[in-house]
Structure 1
């Protein structure tokens, strides 16, 4: 049976909700299509099986669960409405934290700890709060000035800068205005419209906020990956440990296709790059080269990463009976990649400047 494109799925949706696959189903269908038509990235069956066994054993040994989310010091420790606003703001800007080779690294020091990469954003939120600015308030980020934005998002070093700083401000302004105009300035109100459905939350976010519309052309089809929209639903679920506002059916969510988890998938053997792609990525890391957003290689890496995690999830369920979700596998692999960065240093990541991840 042919896999429908995103455009075809959208037409079904317009005909009637009962016929329409939701956005997460679109991502899975897209990943399957990408896998079937890839030239330089593959998902080896034996590698998937071996990786699934190792990862499940690691997760069980660590008692890895949604509660693990709160073990990160900068994440909200109390599941309340303030946490919801924090999660939305963070996932609104959760993209492109990698440092261009040869340029100063963006760092933010707060409470005596120096943070890099993604964690500079939560660190900046905490630092701004200590300075009297609540960056998680939509009324604030809907209208914050460019000068104040540059101040609250500043790096420790004067010659360093958060990547895509101006683009992030544009995204924050647009999203803040939508929340203020339609949802009383609160993401919690938007979430309340979704009836406990992760699928509906992802769809509403994609519909309302252009920066979440993570779709691309590939082999003549439109494909969807929706990384940030899906991780938004997953973060709400994890923060609330599946209760209250976080009682979302996250089983429909896929892996969140970024640039860090694919590295871990290659490390575990669940993802394989062709020689020419690996050589390109290694050269790009040395020379500061970038892979353009929407390039076939970028789409292959991201789509096959989604498919690899889905295959792992299915294998785990088949062999162990464990109903572990793609969300938890993704969370674990991201944590693993950050904790074992030196060990995986020889595996190149793809560098793409993008709003989507």
Structure 2
């Protein structure tokens, strides 16, 4: 099943996760207000803070930058009580994913072509430890797995696509869904699948966010002018569901909530984990529908409001209001898929 169909199937059969209509409407109202106040354009999201638009990179090099950043965009949560992976760059200290991206940009400033697969596919563990060095004693989780991923995707990009992700984009012919299928087929580390109730379901977090990030980087123009961008779902991780629970759009069973509060480490593919991710994906589709209704009732255009913008908004909300959401538990998994 493709991600949208899989999300609906999981939501219909979930036992420990429920989508709550009142919470869906609450998020939709907040997002509609943001659209009304012109705060939900592609320029408004935190990802823009770290795009390397000031480094003289060509269009193709920027595409390569997005590809490698999304290839290693996984597993940034920190056990409670331990220092977070942090990088201070351009006067601002960031943690998690934004810290990783800051480290990539820092490396470019230091003369390292970290966006070039011919370069990063040959870097040693020692090289990468220097590039991704932290300002705390914590390094990125799953560091060895990230090294492996960089070597694998870099080698494939060089061998089959002449070292340029732009050639993958050309093969996609302006279709986000075709790009998702190509990348998932050619690069196994993006193949985010699960089994649920006897069915194979595609969650596809990182490969969908790759398409979305290309769309955002180029402001839906040129290489990012995807005709079917609205068919992508959200990018099911652990932070967006946390925000949905905070707003009341998702509700967990007492048993699942107890496991989350005890910081149980789930395995990728566990039933509860698949339900959290699948239900968050379907909830976002309902949020989009409800937001459209609200905007139309206000006499406003839907303004290109899609699942991507819902995801970016909720992820940004969690980052901006981290302390406020501290008491809302999230599921913990160590894997390369998100």
What is the TM-score of this pair, normalised by structure 1?
0.88
After superposition, residues 41-190 of structure 1 pair within 5 angstroms as 41-69=17-45, 72-77=48-53, 80-157=59-136, 159-190=137-168
Which secondary structure state, in structure 2, belongs to the residue aligned with residue 310 of structure 1? helix
Aligned partner of 2:299 in structure 1 is none
Aligned partner of 2:309 in structure 1 is 328
Contact 1:70/1:77, CA 8 A, preserved across alignment: no
Aligned residues: 328
Contact 1:141/1:176, CA 8 A, preserved across alignment: yes
Whole-Å separation in 2 of the counterparts to 1:94 and 1:121: 8
- The 10-residue stretch of structure 1 (98-107 or 240-249) with the greater mean CA deviation from structure 2: 98-107
Residue 339 (1) aligns with residue 314 (2)? no
Aligned partner of 1:209 in structure 2 is 187
Which secondary structure state, in structure 2, belongs to the residue aligned with residue 129 of structure 1? helix
Tell me the C-alpha RMSD between the 2 structures: 1.6
Q: Where has structure 1 moved over 4 Å in runs of 4 or more?
A: none
Which secondary structure state, in structure 1, belongs to the residue aligned with residue 15 of structure 2? coil
CA-CA distance at 1:59 after TM superposition? 3.5
Which secondary structure state, in structure 2, belongs to the residue aligned with residue 161 of structure 1? coil
Contact 1:215/1:224, CA 8 A, preserved across alignment: yes
CA-CA distance at 1:154 after TM superposition? 1.7
CA-CA distance at 1:257 after TM superposition? 0.2
Aligned partner of 1:192 in structure 2 is 170
Contact 2:29/2:294, CA 8 A, preserved across alignment: no
Whole-Å separation in 1 of the counterparts to 2:66 and 2:45: 12
Contact 1:215/1:225, CA 8 A, preserved across alignment: yes
Aligned partner of 1:229 in structure 2 is 207
Unaligned ranges ≥5, structure 2: 297-301
Unaligned ranges ≥5, structure 1: 1-5, 7-25
What is the TM-score of this pair, normalised by structure 2?
0.93
CA-CA distance at 1:319 after TM superposition? 4.1
Aligned partner of 1:32 in structure 2 is 8
CA-CA distance at 1:111 after TM superposition? 2.1
| Shift in CA distance, 270/32, structure 1 to aligned 2, threshold 3 Å | same
Contact 1:137/1:185, CA 8 A, preserved across alignment: yes
Residue 355 (1) aligns with residue 333 (2)? no
| Shift in CA distance, 115/149, structure 1 to aligned 2, threshold 3 Å | same
Contact 1:125/1:134, CA 8 A, preserved across alignment: no
Which secondary structure state, in structure 2, belongs to the residue aligned with residue 217 of structure 1? strand
